[in-house]
Chain A
Amino acid sequence: MLENIKKEFSTRTLVFIAIAIAINIVIGQLVFYLKLPIYLDSIGTVLVGALVGPWAGAVTGGLSNLLWGVVPPPLQNTFAVPFFYVAVVIGLLAGFFGKRGVFEKESPRWVSVLIGAIFFFSLTMFILAFINIDTSQGFAIFPSMKDLVSQYAIVFVLALAIGAAIGYFLLQNGGYVGLAGLVTGVVAAIISAPTAAVVFGGVTGGGTDLLVAAFRASGGNIWASVLAQGSVSDPFDKMLSFMVVLFILRALPARFKAR
């Protein structure tokens, strides 16, 4: 175990990690200013995880968020600091998926279509369940799945179609990578919600605030709204990051990957 960890941190890895952290922060800050409802601040982390391994990925993630708080403004983002443990987990997961060869295997397109469709279906279910929470008796009652499907049949069909289209055109033959990103995103959403709710009251100044506001407006409390926002933003965000990394890996010369 210790030997493996040591082997991951060669001089080249250290340089790679430093560069990856800079990439995370520069791209993350760009997206933060564009007020897009995603973060895209873990491309470097996923890249290190995929090319080197889980421990290097974890170090990249954790340090990225911590250093983000100490670089001078305009690049400074103090809100990322308390989320450093989330970035550590993202790096670990990316490394784990990388070790499993997720980034090398090509998936048939129908698998991508399936992944896209199932994900969009569950996301729609989640959002609709949230919007239709019944709070009239003083506590929250979630509507049953059956009621939702019959009530919003058209919406679900549309969600399946959009999901399938995204799977076909965006994921293409990177279905496994997309799935790995979605899984990472769901984990990130769950573990980051407590910090977002406790430390910041659910508001971080980025584009994702609009989603929190939308969920608050439909009757959720802070915890539920933050979790709901995370469940919408994070899987998309991590899927996109993983896909960007896949494109980067395909564009890199083989000489670089061989090390």
Chain B
Amino acid sequence: MNSLSIYVARESGLHKLNPLTKFVLSLCILLGGLAFSNALAGYVILFAIVTPLAMFGGVTKRMYQLVFNISWPLILSVFLIQSFFWGAGTPLFEIGPVSPKLEGVLFAFKSSGRILYVMANFILFSLTTRPDTLMISLKQAGLPSGLAYIIVSTLQLIPQYAAKANIILDAQRSRGLETQGNIVTRARALLPLVLPLVISSLLEVEERAIAIEARAFNSNRVETSILEIPDSQSQKTARAGMIIITILLIAGRFLWQLSS
């Protein structure tokens, strides 16, 4: 699983928590955070909740690296579009025919806060949780094994297919397919790239189905696992508590919206 996960092994309290607890925690941060509409809410959650958690897990630097790498083009585009294309508003200064608007910049600031905390929250979870232990604990918590199979095998297939797509790209180029140029050229290249990828993958369905059925995929017995996943009563209580707090937050937000 190493190549397909950004997991970083550390001896920290956060790493030792049950994966289910971390899963519930990051889901609650995500949903609970969206309940606040204040312009600073995203930043407060990022610096007051997600960052301390990352320090606890010892992955703060790595988390911010990844967040920065993924989000800078997006945040740049949010600021450019919202400030320069904001309909009516207070112009900050003028560059020729266009001028960024104050309201647009404020809105972009708010959106960026949301984007940053949502991504940091996600990345922190992936950095501190091994995907296989998460799957096992989800299964133990009652996730149907069919669903678990889909999730695990998809995560394994994606890097394979990305590699396959590159091979097809090279093969079609060597036959003279143009993949660069204007939008019409690129659009015409789409079908010769997509069809071989999809059809060759579909022909694998039969083989894979037989392979997993031959390995007792449909068995109804309870599975045992070689990995021991620690869990405790206090973590169970914490999970229930986080879910209740998040539901209250969202409900409160709706009531507040209705009353005003």
Are B77 and A209 touching (Cβ within 8 A)?
Answer: yes
Contacts of B6 in A (CB 8 A): 72-73
Q: How far is the CA of A252 from the CA of B196 in the complex (A)?
A: 11
CB contacts under 8 Å to B, within A194-250, are 199-205, 209, 212-213, 216-217, 219-222, 244, 247-248
Q: How far is the CA of A79 from the CA of B110 in the complex (A)?
A: 16
Q: How far is the CA of A200 from the CA of B107 in the complex (A)?
A: 10
Cross-chain contact of A203 among B81, B131, B160 (Cβ < 8 A): B81
A227 to chain B, nearest CB (A): 15
Q: Which residue, of A21, A26, A205, A248, has the highest number of chain B Cβ atoms within 10 A? A: A26
| A contact residues, range | 35 or more
Are B85 and A203 touching (Cβ within 8 A)?
Answer: no
B222 within 8 A of A: no
Contacts of B153 in A (CB 8 A): 15, 18
Write out, one digit per residue, whether chain B residues 118-141 have a CB within 8 A of any chain A CB (1) or not (0).
Answer: 110010001000010000000000
Are B155 and A201 touching (Cβ within 8 A)?
Answer: no
Are A201 and B78 touching (Cβ within 8 A)?
Answer: yes
> Can you name the residue of chain B whose Cβ is closest to the Cβ of A248?
B198
B195 to chain A, nearest CB (A): 6
B151 within 8 A of A: yes
Which of A62-70, A112-120, A159-167 contacts its partner?
A: A62-70
A78 within 8 A of B: yes
Contacts of B199 in A (CB 8 A): 248, 251-252
Contacts of A23 in B (CB 8 A): 161, 197-198, 201
Contacts of A216 in B (CB 8 A): 81-82, 85-87
Q: How far is the CA of A11 from the CA of B201 in the complex (A)?
A: 16
Are A18 and B157 touching (Cβ within 8 A)?
Answer: yes
Cross-chain contact of B213 among A11, A27, A63, A203 (Cβ < 8 A): A11
B106 to chain A, nearest CB (A): 11
A146 within 8 A of B: no
Q: How far is the CA of A164 from the CA of B176 in the complex (A)?
A: 31
B74 within 8 A of A: yes
Are B151 and A67 touching (Cβ within 8 A)?
Answer: yes
| B contact residues, range | 35 or more
Are A75 and B162 touching (Cβ within 8 A)?
Answer: yes
A20 to chain B, nearest CB (A): 9
Write out, one digit per residue, whether chain B residues 179-205 have a CB within 8 A of any chain A CB (1) or not (0).
Answer: 000010011001101110111011111
Are A201 and B107 touching (Cβ within 8 A)?
Answer: yes
Q: How far is the CA of A163 from the CA of B151 in the complex (A)?
A: 41
Write out, one digit per residue, whether chain A residues 121-139 have a CB within 8 A of any chain B CB (1) or not (0).
Answer: 0000000000000010000
Are A19 and B205 touching (Cβ within 8 A)?
Answer: yes
Are A72 and B162 touching (Cβ within 8 A)?
Answer: no
Contacts of A217 in B (CB 8 A): 85
CB contacts under 8 Å to A, within B90-129, are 107-108, 110-111, 114-115, 118-119, 122, 126
Q: What are the 10 closest A-B residue pairs judged by CB atoms, nearest first?
A: A216-B85, A201-B111, A22-B157, A205-B74, A18-B153, A12-B209, A21-B154, A26-B161, A15-B208, A15-B209
**Known contacts A18-B157, A256-B203, then 14 further A-B pairs from the complex at CB < 8 Å, ordered by chain A residue:** A12-B209, A16-B202, A18-B149, A22-B158, A26-B197, A27-B194, A72-B6, A203-B81, A212-B81, A213-B81, A216-B81, A216-B87, A247-B195, A256-B206
- Sample 19 A-B pairs with CB under 8 A, ordered by A number: A17-B150, A19-B208, A23-B197, A26-B162, A26-B197, A63-B151, A67-B151, A67-B154, A69-B122, A71-B4, A200-B114, A201-B78, A201-B107, A201-B111, A209-B81, A212-B81, A213-B84, A216-B85, A247-B195
Seen from chain B, the residues whose Cβ lies within 8 Å of a Cβ on chain A are 4-6, 34, 66, 69-70, 73-74, 77-78, 81-82, 84-88, 107-108, 110-111, 114-115, 118-119, 122, 126, 131, 146, 149-151, 153-155, 157-162, 165, 183, 186-187, 190-191, 193-195, 197-199, 201-206, 208-209, 212-213, 217-218
